[in-house]
Amino acid sequence: MSYLWNKAKTILRRYLRRKHRVNTSVKNNSSLVRVVVQKSNMYVQAQAIASDGSVLASAWDRKASGKTKSEKAFAAGKDLAVSLKKADIDTVVFDRNGHLYHGRVKSFADGLREWWITL
């Protein structure tokens, strides 16, 4: 049983190390809008946050169409990009929030890039 506990602690430690590394690099560039991605086992949610902390736009793949989770994340990225284009925002900083850049997080970023949002 202690093996599982140690493995869980190791996974959490790695996640927190990645999160800290990403946050220090992203928050230093405070003049740009930050897109923060939050991921669960079922959904991907993202918010566009201004430098003063106000939320400019948000997207959630629960309402998105697609067969797989990655396709839904891609559609949610498109929805957020459309909202950002309406607010005349072309350049954002992508904060993956400690999650690895593959799978649904990468699909979400590709959905943003399809609408010419520069990350």
Q: What's the CATH number where 16 sits?
A: 3.30.420.100
- Amino acid, single-letter form, for residue 92: V
Range of the domain at 19: 2-114
Residue 95 included in any domain: yes
Residue 19 included in any domain: yes
The count of domains in the chain is: 1
Whether 42 shows a pLDDT value over 80: the answer reads: yes
Section 84-106 average pLDDT = 93
Section 64-77 average pLDDT = 93
Residue 86: partners with Cβ closer than 8 Å, 6 or more residues away: none
Q: What is the mean pLDDT of the chain?
A: 91
Residue 100 included in any domain: yes
Q: Residue 49 carries which DSSP code?
A: E
Between 7 and 119, residue with greater pLDDT: 7
Residue 26 included in any domain: yes
Residue 106: partners with Cβ closer than 8 Å, 6 or more residues away: none
